[in-house]
């Protein structure tokens, strides 16, 4: 099964990411988001970053989680190679904890596209027949 | 899909109305020719125009401008005026790039003088005005960021970038008084720190142009625009700082008002009700982010002057005007025979105040304000002037540019950056860009026809044509 794929969208890009669990689909969404900037496979696993977010529902969780990558990129120059660990807990709210591997030495890479923001436009997070699908249209 | 079944009534050759239905508080007004309207029907633009009409305290109608296209919550090219007591303020009605805008500088040079040195000039501009994902030449500390957020262009002038005259020729004189840096998260400040005086990427650019055609001699003279003379256009915004401010408040409003989220057709329309603490805080934060953008364009204008002086030995650059096209303003408008205070949201729309408004610089008060409409890469741009009709019909607003037609993905399939640069070169337009991909994505074929957008604005009398500008060279963000 494909981990993620891209679709045309006026002014922007749209991607869908898949997984057997919500955690896997979210991890693949992080890969797809990185792919807009650089090929994640070409990024070294030089350093780790911890991500923790708490949100009121699934879509807000995806929004908050992916936004962390934009902040890590612009503030620390961090690009992701892969998601090492990712856990989602659901109580009254959703809590996500992740450890991601990547590189904060930006001079080694040539990201071409800049992502301004995550948006809720056409966002989907759902499970069907034991498979999870998430869809995101970032603002670029 | 729903988007194709929207009922729309013709008002004139250039205006249409979607009647009020369901939970819409007002109808939706669309300014478009048949050609432009057909394009809007292809995506969610009209649906989003209807969605805007659900906002509380909205007056008259929600508005879609001729360059309108699908956005988030609001369409790009959306205008909505919400009552300052019964309405609210919506970050999605302003956009992620707060105070994305355009500055136009004029010069006394003839196009023929500049042409032979255009390549050198563009190289120099690229050195002084970093494009793409590159960091800034100007390093600022956290306390300086606060100064920028509080004072905008004023900070720039106090720190040796640009002058008072530039400031007087900016919307809001380049700074919004109510700005409060305390309302901006440290994450947003960190995102902005390395980005002062950078163009950024996407559709942002700095263009060397000349006045190709004059439609209104008298107004052009007032604006200081003369046929054949070289002008410079800077298009950029508040970069990562503004994006983070929009996102922070969108999320905070969602958390604070879950009952509003449930009632809205799109959660990105979330707003803070007028009079709430959050509405006040967001307005202060948005104003501070707007100041960051004005400071950016101000410093870029200064850097541009250095490049022009180095290569051409010319020091005549003066700011014509600087307009914001992603912003909300507290303004007074005459509505149903009464003066009312409203939050006018302009998302991908330009303020287009007509004659007499005290917000515009004195020198333009008789004619109405200059409106700067950038075209897509390598095509024409325009300067328009605000009208009385616009004050009556659109809360003093018009379009903001060409408006996207094709996705970046499609553009990448259709165009190659190298070819785009070569073709434009053959037409006498030099292009420098941070990346080939960025250039392909911004190929002019991926945009609506700016001439058609301007024609509609002119015919609807919400922004009248003054001059047409043609590019000599582009530095693409």
Which tens digit of pLDDT belongs to each residue from B291-336? 999 999 999 999 999 999 999 999 999 999 999 999 999 999 999 9
Q: What is the pLDDT, as a whole number, of residue A106? A: 87
Q: What is the pLDDT of residue A133?
A: 98
Residues B187-213 have a mean pLDDT of: 89
Domain boundaries, chain B: 2-83+98-476
Cβ <8 Å between B70 and A111 = no
Nearest Cα to Cα of residue B240 among B373, B145, B372, B124:
B145
Do residues B198 and B240 make contact, with C-beta atoms less than 8 angstroms apart? Answer: no
pLDDT digit string, tens, across residues B101-112: 999 999 999 999
**A4-136 CATH pick, 3.55.10.10, 3.10.28.10, 3.50.50.60, 1.10.10.10:** 3.55.10.10
Nearest CB to A71; choose among B187, B406, B410 = B187
| Residues in a beta bridge with B129 | none
Helices B118-128 and B277-312, axial angle in degrees (round to 10): 140
Q: What is the mean pLDDT of residues B207-218?
A: 98
Which residue has tokens 């006018």? B344
Of the candidates B375, B380, B326, B331, the one whose C-alpha atom is nearest the C-alpha of residue B353 is B331
Active-site annotation of B, residues: 400
| Confidence check: pLDDT of B145 > 80 | yes
pLDDT at residue B139 above 80? no
Residue B422 to chain A, least CA–CA distance (Å)? 20
Domain parsing of chain A, residue ranges: 4-136
pLDDT, tens digit, for every residue of B242-298? 999 999 999 999 999 999 999 999 999 999 999 999 999 999 999 999 999 999 999
Task: List CB contacts of B45: < 8 A, sequence separation 6 or more.
Answer: B64, B68, B69, B70, B75, B77
What pLDDT score does B2 carry? 45
Phi, psi of B108 (to 5 degrees): -100, 15
Could you tell me which chain B residue has the CA closest to the CA of A122?
B72
Cβ contacts (< 8 Å) between B409 and chain A: which residues? Answer: 6-9, 13
Question: Over the stretch B13-56, which tens digit does the pLDDT of each residue have?
Answer: 999 999 999 999 999 999 999 999 999 999 899 999 999 999 99
Residue with tokens 């408040």: B249
Predicted local distance difference test score (pLDDT) of residue B362? 95
Q: Which one of A112, A120, A140 has the shortest CB-CB distance to B267?
A: A120
- Given a contact cutoff of 8 angstroms between Cβ atoms, the answer to whether B254 and A60 are in contact is yes
Q: What is the predicted pLDDT for the residue at B137?
A: 72
CA distance B390 to chain A (A): 28
Contact residues, chain B to chain A, C-beta under 8 Å: 43, 69-73, 76, 96-97, 132-133, 187, 190-191, 194-195, 200-202, 240, 243-244, 246-247, 251, 254-255, 258, 266-268, 404-410, 435, 437-438
Q: How many A×B Cβ pairs under 8 Å?
A: 91
**Percentage of chain B modeled with pLDDT above 70:** 98
Which numeric CATH code is attached to B2-83+98-476? 3.90.1860.10
pLDDT on residue A11: 61
Higher-confidence residue: B270 or B137? B270
Contact between chains at B409 and A13 (C-beta distance less than 8 A): yes
Summarised one tens digit per residue, pLDDT across range B366-393 is 999 999 999 988 889 999 999 999 999 9
Question: Which of B45, B46, B133, B241 to mutate to test binding with chain A, by most A CBs within 10 Å of its CB?
Answer: B133
Q: Which of B344, B298, B277 is nearest to B174 (CA)?
A: B298
Is the ipTM reported for this complex over the cut 0.95? Answer: no
* pLDDT of res. B233: 97
Beta carbons of B437 and A112 less than 8 Å apart: yes
Structure confidence at residue B4 as a pLDDT band (50, 70, 90): low
Q: Tell if the CB–CB gap between B251 and A63 is shorter than 8 Å.
A: yes
User: How many Cβ atoms sit within 10 Å of the Cβ of residue B258?
Assistant: 11
Q: Is the pLDDT of residue B58 over 70?
A: yes
Phi and psi at A54, nearest 5°, equal: -135, 125
If residue A55 lies in a helix (H) or strand (E), which one and from where to where? Answer: strand A47-55
| Phi then psi dihedrals of residue B182, to 5 deg | -65, -25
Among A65, A71, A116, A138, the strongest candidate for a mutation testing the B interface, having the largest count of B CBs within 10 A, is A116
**Cβ burial, residue B338 (10 Å; 0-12/13-18/19+):** exposed
Element (H, E) at A22: helix A22-37
pLDDT of residue B1: 42
Residue pair B397/B65 in contact (Cβ under 8 Å)? The answer is yes
Contact yes or no for B65/B348 (Cβ under 8 A):
yes
Low-confidence ranges of chain A (pLDDT < 50): none
Chain A residues with at least one Cβ partner in B under 8 Å: 6-13, 56, 59-60, 63-64, 67, 70-71, 74-75, 110-114, 116-121, 137, 139-140
pTM (two decimals): 0.95
């Amino acid at each position: 099964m494909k981990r993620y794929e891209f679709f045309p969208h006026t002014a922007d890009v749209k991607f869908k990411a898949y997984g057997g669990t919500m955690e896997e689909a979210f991890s693949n969404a992080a890969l797809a988001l990185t792919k807009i900037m650089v090929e994640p496979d070409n990024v070294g696993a030089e350093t780790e970053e911890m991500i923790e977010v708490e949100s009121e529902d699934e879509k807000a969780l995806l929004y908050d989680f992916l936004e962390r990558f934009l902040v890590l990129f612009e503030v620390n120059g961090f690009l992701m190679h892969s998601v090492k660990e990712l856990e989602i807990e659901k109580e009254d709210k959703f809590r996500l904890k992740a450890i991601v591997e990547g590189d904060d030495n930006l001079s080694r890479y040539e990201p071409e596209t800049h992502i301004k923001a995550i948006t809720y436009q056409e966002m989907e997070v759902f499970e069907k027949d034991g498979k999870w699908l998430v869809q995101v249209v970032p603002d670029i | 899909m729903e988007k194709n079944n929207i009922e729309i009534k013709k008002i004139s050759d250039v205006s249409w109305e979607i009647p009020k239905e369901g939970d819409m508080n007002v109808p939706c007004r669309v300014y478009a020719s048949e050609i432009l309207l057909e394009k809007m029907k292809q995506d969610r633009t009209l649906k989003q125009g209807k969605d805007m009409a659900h906002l509380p305290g909205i007056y008259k109608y929600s508005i879609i401008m001729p360059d309108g296209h699908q956005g988030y919550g609001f369409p790009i090219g959306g205008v909505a005026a919400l009552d300052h007591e019964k309405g609210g303020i919506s970050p999605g009605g302003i956009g992620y790039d707060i105070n994305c805008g355009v500055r136009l500088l004029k010069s006394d040079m003839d196009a023929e003088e500049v042409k032979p040195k255009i390549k050198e000039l563009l190289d120099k501009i690229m050195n002084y005005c970093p494009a793409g994902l590159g960091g800034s030449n100007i390093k600022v500390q956290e306390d300086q960021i606060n100064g920028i957020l509080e004072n905008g262009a004023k900070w720039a002038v106090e720190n040796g970038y640009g002058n008072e005259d530039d400031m007087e020729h900016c919307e809001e004189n380049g700074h919004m008084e109510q700005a409060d840096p305390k309302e901006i998260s440290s994450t947003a400040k960190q995102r902005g720190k390395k980005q002062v005086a950078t163009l950024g990427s996407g559709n942002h650019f700095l263009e060397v142009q000349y006045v190709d055609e004059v439609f209104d001699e008298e107004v052009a003279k007032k604006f200081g625009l003369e046929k054949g003379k070289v002008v410079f256009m800077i298009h950029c915004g508040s970069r990562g700082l503004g994006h983070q401010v929009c996102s922070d408040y969108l999320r905070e409003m969602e958390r604070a008002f879950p009952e509003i989220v449930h009632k809205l057709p799109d959660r990105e329309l979330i707003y803070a009700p007028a009079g709430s603490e959050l509405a006040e805080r967001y307005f202060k934060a948005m104003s501070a982010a707007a100041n960051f953008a004005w400071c950016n364009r101000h410093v870029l204008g200064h850097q541009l002057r250095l490049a022009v002086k180095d290569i051409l030995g010319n020091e005549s650059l003066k700011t014509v005007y600087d307009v914001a096209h992603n912003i909300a303003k507290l303004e007074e408008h005459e509505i149903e025979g009464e003066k009312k205070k409203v939050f006018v949201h302009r998302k991908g729309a330009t303020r287009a105040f007509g004659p007499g408004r005290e917000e515009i610089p004195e020198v333009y008060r008789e004619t109405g304000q200059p409106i700067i409409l950038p075209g897509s890469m390598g095509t024409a741009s325009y300067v328009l002037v605000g009208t009385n009709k616009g004050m009556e019909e659109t809360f003093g607003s018009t379009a903001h540019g060409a408006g996207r037609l094709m996705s970046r993905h499609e553009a990448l399939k259709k165009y190659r950056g190298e070819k785009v640069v070569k073709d434009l070169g053959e037409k006498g337009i030099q292009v420098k860009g941070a990346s080939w991909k960025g250039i392909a994505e911004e190929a002019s074929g991926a945009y609506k026809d700016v001439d058609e957008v301007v024609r509609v604005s002119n015919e609807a009398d919400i922004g009248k044509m003054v001059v047409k500008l043609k590019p000599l060279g582009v530095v693409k963000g």
